[in-house]
Amino acid sequence: MSFEAAVHAQAIELDKLAMEMTAEAGSGHPSTALSLGHIVTVLMFHSMRWSPDYPAYPTSDRLVLSEGHAVPIVYAAACRLGVVVGKDPDKRRKLTPADSHKLRAWDSELDGHPNPIEGFPFFDAATGSLGQGLSVAAGLGAAAKLDGIDKRIYCVIGDGESREGQITEALDFIADQKLTNVLAIFNCNEYGQADRVSPQQQVEHLIPKLKAAGFEVKEIDGHAPAQIKAAFDAFAEGSARFDGKPTAIVARTVKGWGAPTMQGGGWHGKPATGDALKKCLSELDEKRVQLTSSLASGDAFEIQPPAQAAPREQSAGELPPMSQAMKQMDMESLLHTGKLATRRAYGIALRALGEVNDRVVVLDCDVSNSTHADMFAKAPDLAERFLECKIGEQNMVSVAAGLSAAGKVPFCSTFAKFFTRAYDQIEMAINSGANFKLVGSHAGITLAADGPSQMALPDVSWFRAWTTMRDHKGNPGCYILQPSDAYSAYALTGAMAEYEGPCYMRTLRADTEFLYNDGQVFNLGGFETLQEGRDVVLCACGYMVHEANKALDLLDKAGIAATLLDMYSIPFDADKLLDIINANNGYVISLEDNYGGGLGSAIADALTESGDAFTLRQMHVRRIPKSARTPEELLQMCGLTAADIVKNVLSLLQVA
Amino acid sequence: MSFEAAVHAQAIELDKLAMEMTAEAGSGHPSTALSLGHIVTVLMFHSMRWSPDYPAYPTSDRLVLSEGHAVPIVYAAACRLGVVVGKDPDKRRKLTPADSHKLRAWDSELDGHPNPIEGFPFFDAATGSLGQGLSVAAGLGAAAKLDGIDKRIYCVIGDGESREGQITEALDFIADQKLTNVLAIFNCNEYGQADRVSPQQQVEHLIPKLKAAGFEVKEIDGHAPAQIKAAFDAFAEGSARFDGKPTAIVARTVKGWGAPTMQGGGWHGKPATGDALKKCLSELDEKRVQLTSSLASGDAFEIQPPAQAAPREQSAGELPPMSQAMKQMDMESLLHTGKLATRRAYGIALRALGEVNDRVVVLDCDVSNSTHADMFAKAPDLAERFLECKIGEQNMVSVAAGLSAAGKVPFCSTFAKFFTRAYDQIEMAINSGANFKLVGSHAGITLAADGPSQMALPDVSWFRAWTTMRDHKGNPGCYILQPSDAYSAYALTGAMAEYEGPCYMRTLRADTEFLYNDGQVFNLGGFETLQEGRDVVLCACGYMVHEANKALDLLDKAGIAATLLDMYSIPFDADKLLDIINANNGYVISLEDNYGGGLGSAIADALTESGDAFTLRQMHVRRIPKSARTPEELLQMCGLTAADIVKNVLSLLQVA
């Protein structure tokens, strides 16, 4: 039979299966699925170079379904093709038609939206929160380009979804990086959830927008097999060149194609059941008869396998001691000043890491001279592994998720405050099981002069939520790291690279005095005792460790022997902490340069679980700060100076 | 003298002052300021209709400085014009030249970035976190359109900043809403912080992008007074029509204009000091001589005052009881089912509120049929106060900040999960002192089938950070509300409208049984005792109140008299809670359907401050959930069923 007829036959099979799956699940988005039947058929049965037996094979072409709610159409194809699934890599199996009955069931790999960590390795990243997929695809494309792998990344984006600003950030990034191996496919079915898509997202506006973004744009009928194939072939032809314009396809499609019953508005996210389902299925059957001679579908297809993956040697050597690295970088003189900003130490560590670890890539959002990621960017042998994302934080984080899926270890840096606008992307990357590192600079109030619009203040509270649960490997969803000096910032950067999982490190604008040396070991989950006392425990992190240090002498003069802990990690060893607090009569003060819900609450959680009597005084920022010219003025404004610490200790111990 | 010469003379005065201010502050962005000298001069001294004596006058034209770091140039103009400032409205004063010496000082109204709540009412919103200003301007424009006020909103956006996806969301929104009273001015000085802006953000790409977005685009030399004036005049001429295309100006400018010493890269965010400063100032003086005959600057200008504000009567009546409202909406039958989803009750309350309160406006992101905000949208007399933002959450929240600045009470709704991508915008709105309400639906794990990409899980932890500090009025930065039934959701929607400040309410997808009635009062900061016991306190919120309810009977059978509290608000009355826990032997269990750091940690914070011996067992989500077909399956998956509660109580009380 003709390719045309075969695609129609297969697409309609998938459409029907998607209808049945969502009906049985009692929820899902069949009408969206039907708008993609033909495109997904041409991709998965013909154009993509991949193997259903090894869906995550390194050289396979990839499909990123940005409009994740359309996933039943991909699951339908996967069930037909017997794609290999399974949460446990050692116990993987081929999907069977029976699996199509388990969509969204709690013991099924066919999750409500693409969710690789639940056992569907065909996908690289969790999607479903809209607007993120094209950035993930860009990350996969950038990794393939770096590794010299001829791999094509197909990304399907909804028209309504294209309203999300992140999509334009991704388009600009793809154009900047000349990622001709990424194909942006816009599924223009004209309907969002509540209503039609805005004219701003309709084909007539979308095409000029994409052209203005520097893309080669092909408009096609998304249900015309020959047009789909031709567009994919044209993209494939130039995909490995990495010059000229990247390609976008604008596909006119019909939401509920082939089943007039569920076309038009009102059917978004609603499965047809009972008679309505029967009606839709028969409408699809009629459509099939109309479009093709009936025959066992799929016969006409032969999926091209991916190229044999070349064995890759990847170095992952030891990070040298900081002082040694600084000597090599002719920065030794800085060591003698006795102080260094933790953000600077991060830059030094990044560069040293880059030399010993091929997998490390660095991303930044136009502030690399503030975060000091520019130390990596400026090293000639590392420069190609530095990806400048310009001022688009959402895109940066999702690109990192894509890079991680391709085996890279991405470090993302910007001001800690500006990561806030990528929290949704960070959550989706964690849900994807991505291995990525976020390093936010200028954290907390000691940034001072720039004012609150540049200060990260509720950030620790948000990331801490991730320390209260466990990911699929049984690890904390994220580690929060708050180094107080350059040696710890340097060492923790190395520790992050060695650890396979998400980390968030806060660095400081101001120089801080050295508290440690090359010999000191820092572990994710650890803390360090800087002074052992008996009367009260000061639990401080980051800049506040230095303020607490000042307080120690004042307290000593007042006859109080305080214990000082550098709580550089959340989570931390709670049992060890409780022993120390018990040895200090149960009195503890937490010190942080951000709003509450962070370190103090983490300690409170540990104390209240034990059931013993403890008294915790939390010292943190309790007002919206404003600009002042020095960190000291900010600490005063927020009641966090050494003198304030002493005052709190005295009232806590009721000696004043 | 000619307008041309007067603008040059004045602009150079402002440029010099901006140089001196940043030099004295020791930080700031003078080179960016110099790229805006002429544009700001024409705006503040000529085109804007406003009064330096009443900078926040309701009918005044507004300037939103999206690239907040350029603010010294506006402060320079404000000092020259004696703009009225002051945190305390009763103690406001005119700025004097002396104020220019206090930029970024901790007792100055001239904060590092635009910051109205620190006493600079010329601005409507805090900016500095990039990409948000145009959305704020759109909110101000939409409010003026609703109120029939002829008011023009000028928004200055940096070229590098225009990479932020939110800018395109704002452009689409402005085009959708035909906000011809908003002028987007792109300051194209070609340099970002770390480097030149990407070609994607340069004039050659920006102009076609803006045209593709449906804008009338004017390209001008941003240092040519006549061109600036002509472009502003053309915008003003059609600004009140609300038909046809909105306008954008693309201004070619020079970063460090007039002072070659600080032009080109490397000068971003660096004040010139010492000889470099002297050199720049003399360069500017030469430029002035070259461009104009010297004369007392500003003479040639006369600022046009704003129109007299018409007295506005705004109704803010009582919200009727829910059952009465439902009768009026022919929904009485639902009352008899004994259960109703809290999201549905929110929709009912919104509609009833709209009828009695003119200030209420509603925004949604294409999910109004899920959040039930469509009940407001579909009421013919309310429809014009419903602003559909399509799938662009960041824009929605910043638009709300603008609406609030114009006196509206905006309710924003989308899935609780999708607010995550607007946390940076929410933080800036709180920093702006905005009065806005966020209502996130489908919160927590009981959403079930759609899976983790649609579930809000770390959200309570983030918002809780805002409950640990106080805003400029001494109120919590935000209230978190988690109603368990329709009556409480309805009443709390009314309470949010009455309260002048930020609130975040989580609503549920599933129907939940009625626990209350019309008579019940709910207060921000309160909680409700549903059963009084003596052995243990169950602190639950939202859906978990119902699971705890089931547990009560099981516990009773086991001879345990548990107290059940509906903790519908964070913060809550901690003293009252501690008394109750004390009366229950200090045993407490917290129950929430999200990750930790939320309600449980809020209770832990309160307990540890007291210093008494309490034992808290926190029950919350400790894994990344996956899809399942029913809420019950999710509760089981996450160990949060009534049976799990009983198990935890027994082990807590050591009776098992």
Give pLDDT tens digits for A316-356: 788 999 999 999 999 999 999 999 999 999 999 999 999 99
Do B40 and B174 have their domain in common? yes
B396 → chain A, closest CA residue: A164
SS3 A282: helix
Give the distance, in angstroms, between the CA of residue A544 and the centroid of all CA atoms in the same chain: 29
The residue ranges of DSSP E strands in B41-135, in sequence order, are 62-65, 84-85, 93-94
Note the pLDDT tens digit of each residue in B582-640. Answer: 999 999 999 999 999 999 999 999 999 988 889 999 999 999 999 999 999 999 999 99
**Residue B619 confidence (pLDDT):** 98
Q: A269 with A360, same domain?
A: no
Alpha carbon of A606 to those of A154, A566, A581, A617, B397: distances in Å? 47, 17, 11, 14, 36
Same domain, B28 and B108: yes
Among A310-314, A432-436, B495-499, the least confident range: A310-314
Task: Give the pLDDT confidence of A125-172 residue by residue, as tens digits.
Answer: 999 999 999 999 999 999 999 999 999 999 999 999 999 999 999 999
Residue B171 domain-assigned (yes or no):
yes
| A221-264 residue pLDDT tens | 999 999 999 999 999 999 999 998 999 999 999 999 999 999 98
- Residue A23's SS3 state is helix
The enclosing H or E element of B79 equals helix B72-81
Is residue B135 assigned to a domain? Answer: yes
Tell me, yes or no, if B129 comes closer than 8 A to chain A by beta carbon: yes
Size of interface A-B (CB pairs under 8 A): 413
Whole-number Å distance between alpha carbons of A471 and B173: 38
Which residue from A104, A205, A477 is facing B214, i.e. has the nearest CB? A205
Is the predicted pLDDT of residue B296 greater than 70, yes or no?
Answer: no
Answer for the pair B486, B341: CB distance below 8 angstroms, yes or no. Answer: yes
Nearest to A453 among B68, B366, B605 (CB): B68
A68 contacts on B by Cβ (under 8 Å): 453
Summarize pLDDT for B89-108 with one digit per residue, the tens. Answer: 899 999 999 999 999 999 99
User: Is there a single domain that holds both residue A152 and residue A53?
Assistant: yes
Nearest CA among A504, A495, A512, A413 for reference residue A462? A504
Residue A574 and residue A539 in contact, taking contact as beta carbons nearer than 8 Å: no
CA distance B645 to chain A (A): 16
What's the angle, vertex CA B382, arms to CA B237 and CA B155, rounded to 5?
35
In a domain, A200, yes or no: yes
pLDDT at residue A378, as a whole number:
97
Contact check, Cβ <8 Å, B208/A208: yes
Between positions 198 and 237 of B, the ones with CB within 8 A of A are 198-201, 205, 208-209, 211-214
Q: What is the CATH number of the domain that holds A609?
A: 3.40.50.920
Confidence of residue A546 (pLDDT cuts 50, 70, 90): very high
Q: Which of residues 399-428 of B touch A (CB under 8 A)?
A: 417-418, 420-425, 427-428
Q: Contact, A116 vs A123, CB < 8 A?
A: yes
Q: Is B427 a residue of the active site?
A: no
Report the residue from B111, B466, B627 with minimal CB separation from A626: B111
- Residue in chain B nearest A191 by alpha carbon: B366
Task: Please name the residue that has the structure tokens 């006859």.
Answer: A559
Which CATH number do you get for residue A387?
3.40.50.970
Of A380 and A313, the structure prediction assigns the larger pLDDT to: A380
In chain A, % of residues over pLDDT 90: 94
Q: How far apart are CA A441 and CA A578, in angstroms?
A: 31
Neighbours of A654 (CB within 10 A): 7
SS3 A250: strand
Average pLDDT over residues B326-334: 96
A207 CA: distance to closest CA in chain B (Å): 8
Which H/E stretch holds residue B37? helix B37-42
Task: Kindly state whether A115 is in contact with chain B, defined as any CB-CB distance less than 8 angstroms.
Answer: yes
Whether B225 and B151 map to the same domain: the answer is yes
Look at residue A315 and tell me if it is in a domain: no
CB contact under 8 A, B453 and A598: no
Partner residues linked to A415 by β-bridges? A441
| Candidates B601, B630, B636, B653, partner chain A, best to mutate (most A CBs within 10 A) | B601
Chain A residue with CA closest to B469: the answer is A622
* B582 contact A CB<8A: no
Residue B558 has pLDDT above 90, yes or no: yes
Q: Specify whether A561 is located in the same domain as A597.
A: yes
Do B67 and B192 share a domain, yes or no? yes
Q: Which two tokens stand for residue B11?
A: 């602009």
Chain B contact present for A651, CB below 8 A: no
Q: Which of A164, A392, A621 sits opposite B469 (nearest CB)?
A: A621
- Asked if residue B199 and residue B57 are part of one domain, the reply reads yes
Best of A87, A366, A368 to substitute, by most chain B Cβ atoms within 10 angstroms, is A366
CB B427 within 8 A of CB B465: no
Instruction: Note the pLDDT of residue A316.
Output: 74
With CA atoms as reference, the chain B residue closest to A200 would be B172
For residue A538, the SS3 value is: strand
pLDDT-derived band of residue B293, with 50, 70 and 90 as boundaries? low
Instruction: Give the integer Cα–Cα distance in Å for B449 and A320.
Output: 49
Per residue in A52-98, pLDDT tens? 999 999 999 999 999 999 999 999 999 999 999 999 989 999 999 99
B265 close to A (CB below 8 A): no
Is the bond preceding B502 in cis, omega lying within 30 degrees of 0? Answer: no
Does A533 lie in the same domain as A507?
no
Domain span at residue B7?
3-115+131-291
Q: What is the pLDDT of residue A293?
A: 66
Cα–Cα dist A116/B56, whole Å = 52
Report the distance separating Cα A285 and Cα B570, nearest Å.
Answer: 55
Residue A376's φ and ψ, nearest 5 degrees, are -75, -45
Q: Reply yes or no on whether the pLDDT at B297 is more than 90.
A: no
Q: Output the 3-class SS for A509-524.
A: CCEEECCCCCCCCCCC
pLDDT at B383: 98
Which among B291, B311, B336 is the end of a domain? B291
Residues 6+ apart with CB under 8 A from B250: B186, B188, B203, B206, B207, B210, B217, B218, B219, B220
Structural domains in chain B (count): 3
Residue in A613, A209, A116 with CA at minimum distance from that of residue A402? A116
SS3 A14: helix
**C-alpha span between A248 and A498 (Å, rounded):** 38
- For residue B240, being part of any structural domain is answered with yes
H helix runs in B249-405, sequence order:
274-291, 322-328, 332-335, 342-356, 368-371, 374-377, 393-405
Reported as a pLDDT band with limits 50, 70 and 90, residue B475 is very high
Mutation for A interface: B106, B386, B539, B594, most A CBs within 10 A: B106
Separation of alpha carbons B359 and B362, rounded Å: 10
pLDDT tier for residue B34 given thresholds of 50, 70 and 90: very high
Supply the pLDDT for residue B298.
Answer: 47
Q: At what angle do helices B165-176 and B133-147 cross, to 10 degrees?
A: 20
Strand pairing report for B503-506 and B479-481: parallel
In a domain, B454, yes or no: no
CA distance A451 to B161: 19
Answer yes or no: do A470 and B169 touch at CB < 8 A: no
Give which of A569, B614, B593 is closest to B603, Cα–Cα.
B614
Residue A176 sits at the chain B interface (C-beta within 8 Å): yes
Which residues 62-81 of A have a C-beta within 8 angstroms of B?
68
Contact list, B453 vs chain A (CB under 8 Å): 68, 112-113, 115, 126-129, 428, 431
Q: Is B541 part of any domain?
A: yes
d(CA A170, CA A132): 9
Q: Which 3 state secondary structure label does DSSP give B553?
A: helix
Residues of A belonging to the active site: 393
Q: At residue B531, what are phi and psi to the nearest 5 degrees?
A: -150, 135
Query: Which residues of chain A does B472 touch, with a Cβ-Cβ cutoff of 8 Å?
Result: 624
Say if residue A544 is in the same domain as residue A620: yes
Could you tell me the pTM of the whole model? 0.97
pLDDT digits (tens, 9 = 90+) for A349-385: 999 999 999 999 999 999 999 999 999 999 999 999 9
Residue A473 lies in a domain: no
Is some CB atom of chain A closer than 8 A to the CB atom of B87? no
Indicate the length of chain A as a whole number.
656
Question: Hey, is the C-beta of A167 within 8 angstroms of any chain B C-beta?
Answer: yes
Work out the pLDDT band at A30, boundaries 50, 70, 90: very high
Cα atoms found within 13 Å of the Cα of residue A151, Cβ hemisphere only = 26
Residues A536 and A505 reside in one and the same domain? no
Hey, is the C-beta of B369 within 8 angstroms of any chain A C-beta? yes
Report chain B residues whose CB lies below 8 A from the CB of A197.
Answer: 390
Co-location of A330 and A279 in the same domain:
no
